[in-house]
Structure 1
Amino acid sequence: MPNPPATAAQPRRSALLRLGALCGLAGLSGLASSGEVLAAVAAARSGAAYQPALLTRDELQLTGVLAELIIPRTDTPGALEVGAHQVIDHLLKVCSLEAEQARFKAGLARIEAAAQAQGGRRFGALPAARQVALLQAMDRGRAPFDADGQAFFRQLKGYVAFAYYTSEAGATRELAYLPIPGGFQGNYKLTRSTRNWAI
């Protein structure tokens, strides 16, 4: 399935960024300071061969597939390429309570069970169109999923947005970035391809 053009991905990525900032990581706020969260992100991106911290290898691989479907590669790297799944795994291990960790794993298991029931294969082996259809059903809380599945998918999108936009590519290639911002520019001309700004 071809990737959507960059202009089509812009509003979706903007919405995901806001979702992650506003509510996607609400579960982390009471457990870790911003410094601890940033330290966890840095550890997951250390460059060494990544060893899963909480998820099994199969769960980590599935999280990577899901992350790439949420933020695919366009003219900028996708979530899988920036290691969003590794950051999510590390954040869950370091910054989440056991109950939240269990809910996340149960959400992944729910996706795999639905894929097996409808396609006889693991989610990662399904055709791209079937993967998208299952995630759309989950996002809407429709069969074979329910409200718990919908809540998990919304949480996952928040994690993916946070992991993506704290990566170098997300902050400097997907978003516009000025290391030393200039002065005020009134009447700034915007086009359909103007990128949002990193914060």
Structure 2
Amino acid sequence: MKPENLDMNMNRRQVLQRVAYLMGGVVSAPAVLGILNGCAPKQQEASWTPVFLTKEQGALVGEIAEIIIPRTDTPGAKDVGVPAFIDTMLKDVYTQEDRDRFVTGLQAFDDAARKAHGKAFVELSKGQQTELVQKANDEAVATELAYDPRPKDLKRPFILMTKELTLLGFFCSEPGATQVLQYVAIPGKFEACVPLAQAGNGKAWAQEAMGRF
């Protein structure tokens, strides 16, 4: 997959470093391989159909990605094509073992939503969806921190695979790189001490954590 939206002035390794920071210090080996080989999201059409995932699975992944990076005054995960990016990464980069773990986890996540609220995840309110994603994320993060794996040994559960791919896809898009967090393609003069409001209009810098997710 050729990069469509990634500003070529932005080093992919910087994207990986940024996402590693947001993921607690580690990016999985398949994700690293995909980004270094040029994988990046394309603008997603409304009629987009998944290639690896089923249509229903793609819709579920899209809703979770949008919870992780929602549309505000800047584009969200869906706007920049993250669901299609995740689908392509799973198809072209991940092993069969990883794919099976993702799909099994995806089904278990939706089953948990049905058990908790009597509806599929995509039918729940935004508040209910956010609560379920946060709960799954917190439990998975606690488990991963206890394990402390190396990238090549990392077997992330579905929710953290989705989070990792959402962040990577988003920050490889032009809006993610240039609109949401501070990113200077051609740095200007260095000023050691300036007011926060003056240094980037109050936006967080790319190296800072982005919310709880």
TM-score by length of 2: 0.70
Higher helix proportion: 1
**1:52 pairs with one of 50, 57, 62:** 50
1:169 to 2:167 alignment: no
1:53, 1:140 → 2: CA distance?
30
SS in 1 for 2:115: helix
Return the match for 1:179 from 171, 181, 185.
Answer: 185
The Cα of 1:76 is off from its aligned counterpart by 1.1
Aligned position for 2:116: 118
Mark the CA change 1:20 to 1:83 in structure 2 (over 3 Å): closer, same or farther.
Answer: farther
Show structure 2 runs of 5+ residues with no match: 1-17, 145-155, 208-213
Residues 87, 163 of structure 1: 8 Å contact kept = yes
SS in 1 for 2:50: coil
Pick the aligned partner of 1:193 from 179, 188, 202: 202
Residue from 87, 90, 93 that aligns with 1:92: 90
Instruction: State, as a whole percentage, how many aligned pairs show the same letter.
Output: 30
Following the alignment from structure 2 to structure 1, what is the Cα–Cα distance between the partners of residues 110 and 60? 9
Q: CA deviation at 1:111?
A: 1.3
Q: How many residues align?
A: 174
Query: Could you state the TM-score of these two structures normalised by the residue count of structure 1?
Result: 0.74
RMSD of equivalent CA atoms: 3.0
Deviation per CA, 1:141-181, whole angstroms, max 9, x where unpaired? 39xxx969x83322221111111111111111102233322
Change (3 A) 1:66 1:121: same
**Which sits farther off after the overlay, 160-169 or 45-54?**
45-54
Q: Which of 137, 140, 143 lines up with 2:138 in the alignment? A: 140
Counterpart in the other structure of 2:21 = 18
